[in-house]
Amino acid sequence: MNITELTVHELQEKIKNKELTSEQITKAYIDRINEKENDVAAFVTICNDSLEQSKKIDEELNKENNIADGSLKGIPIGIKDNICTKGIKTTCSSKMLENFISPYDATVIEKIKSEQMPILGKLNMDEFAMGSSTENSAIKITHNPWNLNKVPGGSSGGSAAAVAANMVPWALGSDTGGSIREPASFCGVVGLKLTYGLVSRYGLVAFASSLDQIGPITKDVEDSAILLNVIAGHDEKDTTSYDRPKIDYTKSLKNDVKGLKIGVPKEFFGEGISEDVKAKLKESIEVYKSLGAEVEECSLGAVEYALATYYIIACAEASSNLGRFDGIRYGYRAKEFSDLKELYVNSRTEGFGDEVKRRIILGTYVLSSGYYDAYYKKAQKVRTYVKKQFDENFKKYDVLLTPVAPTTAFDIGQKKENPLEMYLADVCTVSINIASVPAISIPCGVGKDGMPIGMQLIGDRFSEEKLLNAAYTFEQKIKFRENYKPGFNK
């Protein structure tokens, strides 16, 4: 048995039946990380002490004659490096926070610890989650396990690559405009962006607070539902989190989509979307029809404005959120300065990378008194308009089906020098964050280049159960994991 190829629900079974111990599982992952990290470069920090934790957890598990169904005790996890972990560095893959150790755990980390899941390490990302390829990391460039010359997507590229390369059984990422879904699509894994407010953002280093959500990156849909069960819920430390009755999301996986109404917004299939991606999505639509779903073309015209709106709102919020990194309260401080102003300026100049600076400048500009009405205020109006169009569609459809990204994973270096082209990689994902609705990215095949292609299913707010079932039923039918595997081509 190859332990690192198993899904989490398979690992749960093995622990329950005493076929595997937590130590064996964690050891297998640490060995795998040591074997592959040189090639994939997914980790910012590797936590070798997870093995000690596993040994202690095994002592408890040994005493239990009947391990509870659904127990995650002893199953390890990887965490994107913008989620605060007490005692373990949280760098946001930046020079600014290169040595930052949070004095507290994010709420999602408290939840993971209360399940007794050891943390294998912190995963690479674009600096402060700004990017679509993980090339903006100030620490290292992560490579796509399917082809090491390609990007893994971003900003949660370390998380998606680590799951695809079997270096972690599953991981947490964050999604502000596509950062869970696009890397999941590029790496052939499952990424779930949740309804805004379903999961606490407390302890997630803020990029754009009205858009950011933490979510699971997993090998399959069932694992996604399991991890959602762990992290969902109201948190009084995050006033934007909702107080809703607890749901067991695994119960929603029915493997049945008969009568499900699927809308296919035509605007997502226009210019700029590669023929390969279009072809795979058309095949996927046929799969749904054969499973008894009702599929119809629909329209989401406002999506044309979503990318511009996103980059105005996200940059505006980022410029404000990143104001706290001033060389005094957090992180990097310049060595040379003659007064307070120079301390700020030099620390920020030296501590932030190019993309982060670009966003701060753009954000400050759209919020400045002369341009506020023309850009920021208008973007907020368009945001409402986009939301309304989604609402209209969800009166008719249970889910909407679109591509995740216009292409498969691109080459490392291909878009790095052209920020606008990089922003276009988000054209299919940002409107979802603008409308605060949930969406899942699941693999639906591979392109001519042998790289995975993702399908995005979008649901109405708090319709995660419907979304998960729609994704699960498709996955059971096409069995992507069994048919395709990352090649580790050099």
Residues at the contact surface with ligand GLN, assessed by CB under 6 A: 129-132, 155, 175-179, 207, 314, 426
Catalytic residue at 155? Answer: yes
399-403, strands of its sheet edge to edge: 43-46, 119-123, 77-80, 171-175, 213-218, 190-193, 439-446, 452-459, 399-403, 261-265, 294-298
320: Cα within 13 Å, side-chain hemisphere: 11
| Min separation Cβ 156 and ligand GLN, Å | 8
Q: Which amino acid is at 264?
A: V
Beta carbon nearer to ligand GLN, 30 or 432: 432
Asked if residue 443 lies in contact with residue 483, where contact means CB atoms within 8 angstroms, the answer is: no
Beta carbon nearer to ligand GLN, 132 or 229: 132
Give per-residue burial for 185-195: e unless 16+ CB within 10 Å, then b.
bbbbbbbbbbb
Asked if residue 400 lies in contact with residue 265, where contact means CB atoms within 8 angstroms, the answer is: yes
Which residue, 111, 147, 139, 421, is CA-closest to 241?
111
Phi, psi (deg, nearest 5) at residue 361: -65, -45
What residue ranges in 182-293 does DSSP mark as E strands?
190-193, 213-218, 261-265
CA distances from 417 to 141, 289, 360, 438 (A): 15, 42, 18, 31
Beta carbon nearer to ligand GLN, 217 or 253: 217
| Min separation Cβ 356 and ligand GLN, Å | 10
H runs (alpha helix) in 87-133: 107-114
| Min separation Cβ 27 and ligand GLN, Å | 33
Beta carbon nearer to ligand GLN, 147 or 179: 179
| Min separation Cβ 314 and ligand GLN, Å | 5
| Min separation Cβ 312 and ligand GLN, Å | 12
Beta carbon nearer to ligand GLN, 288 or 375: 375
Catalytic residue at 179? Answer: yes
Catalytic residue at 80? Answer: yes
Q: Determine which one of 102, 155, 200, 431 is catalytic.
A: 155
Residue 230 DSSP SS3: helix
CA distances from 41 to 45, 125, 127, 139, 174 (A): 11, 11, 15, 10, 19
Strands 452-459 and 190-193, sheet pairing: unpaired
| Min separation Cβ 6 and ligand GLN, Å | 29
| Min separation Cβ 33 and ligand GLN, Å | 24
Beta carbon nearer to ligand GLN, 131 or 169: 131
Q: Determine which one of 80, 122, 219, 466 is catalytic.
A: 80
Q: Determine which one of 179, 200, 284, 431 is catalytic.
A: 179
Residue nearest to ligand GLN (CB): 179
Which residue, 7, 465, 433, 472, is CA-closest to 181?
433
Task: Give the DSSP H/E element, type plus range, for residue 188.
Answer: none
How many other C-beta atoms are found inside a 10 Å radius of the C-beta of residue 31? 12
Q: Which residues are known to be catalytic?
A: 80, 155, 179
